[in-house]
């Protein structure tokens, strides 16, 4: 089981990094496009706030979102807000998540996220950590995949490799930086495809933030991964 206390501390630190960096923006730059297609930086900040509240719901045994439509509508509603309102919302929603995480609970229990996905409660802080770190990168304000904490990068690669394991549309693949290796995709008796590169490039490909141009691929074409 994951160390939820340690991961909650990592979420707190990542949130402070994001808030400090985003605090240097202004109302005009918040309205500019982020790196996510169709989303401004305001959309990213609004999503981070609403995701924190959604994960509070998960830990409390409630539906993560009322519906997919309600999730999207809330983000669209909150995206145009001024910077100071955005930052306060991210900070206060993050505090609610931390408060929920600090309450006594059975962290080995199973919780349900979106689309029927389940996890142990102890895995939720890592999921929030990923939201904060990767969306910090998505803001396009100077924080890159290479700046992510090494522990997070390795654990998120492990998480994503596990997520795609057994997926019928992903061929059997070995993912490696030359030292560590992960397997993902469908089961295969053959050697499959080997994808090699620096950890940030591997993570970028696995999480859909980079196209894999910085990776060495042998034994086949770079697998096309389904959306997260």
pLDDT tens column, 55-73? 999 999 999 999 999 999 9
Helix, strand or coil for residue 106? coil
> Would strands 181-184 and 193-196 be described as parallel, antiparallel, or unpaired?
unpaired
Confidence of residue 14 (pLDDT cuts 50, 70, 90): very high
Confidence of residue 190 (pLDDT cuts 50, 70, 90): low
Percent with pLDDT over 70 in the chain: 99
pLDDT value at residue 188: 73
Judged against a pLDDT cut of 90, whether residue 228 lies above it is answered with no
Q: How far apart are CA 25 and CA 4, in angstroms?
A: 32
CB atoms within 10 A of CB 150: 9
Judged against a pLDDT cut of 70, whether residue 133 lies above it is answered with yes
Beta bridge partners of 218: 194
What's the first-to-final CA gap in the chain, in angstroms? Answer: 23
Closest CA to 129 of 107, 149, 158, 144: 149
CB atoms within 10 A of CB 56: 20
- Read off the DSSP letter of residue 123: G
Mean pLDDT of all residues in 217-228: 93
Percent with pLDDT over 90 in the chain: 95
Q: How far apart are CA 223 and CA 60, in angstroms?
A: 37
> Would strands 173-176 and 181-184 be described as parallel, antiparallel, or unpaired?
antiparallel
Displacement of CA 135 from its chain's centroid (Å): 7
Confidence of residue 2 (pLDDT cuts 50, 70, 90): confident
Judged against a pLDDT cut of 90, whether residue 54 lies above it is answered with yes
Judged against a pLDDT cut of 70, whether residue 189 lies above it is answered with no
């Amino acid at each position: 089981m994951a160390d939820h206390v340690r991961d909650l501390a990592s979420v707190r630190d990542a949130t402070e990094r994001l808030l400090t960096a985003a605090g240097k923006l202004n109302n005009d730059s918040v309205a500019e496009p982020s790196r996510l297609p169709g989303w401004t930086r305001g959309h990213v900040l609004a999503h981070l706030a609403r995701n924190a509240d959604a994960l509070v719901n998960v830990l409390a045994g409630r539906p993560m979102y009322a519906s997919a439509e309600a999730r999207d509508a809330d983000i669209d509603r909150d995206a145009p807000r001024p910077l100071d309102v955005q930052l306060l919302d991210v900070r206060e929603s993050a505090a609610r998540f931390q408060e929920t995480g600090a309450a006594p609970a059975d962290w080995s229990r199973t919780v349900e996220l979106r689309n029927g996905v389940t996890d142990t409660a102890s895995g939720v802080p890592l999921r929030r950590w990923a939201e904060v770190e990767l969306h910090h990168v998505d803001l396009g304000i100077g924080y890159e995949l290479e700046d992510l904490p090494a522990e997070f990068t390795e654990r998120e690669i492990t998480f994503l490799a596990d997520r795609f394991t057994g997926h019928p549309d992903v061929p059997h693949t070995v993912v490696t930086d030359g030292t560590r290796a992960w397997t993902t995709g469908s089961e295969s008796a053959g050697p499959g495809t080997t994808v090699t590169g620096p950890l940030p490039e591997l993570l970028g490909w696995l999480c859909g933030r980079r196209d894999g141009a910085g990776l060495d691929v042998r034994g086949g074409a770079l697998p096309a991964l389904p959306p997260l």
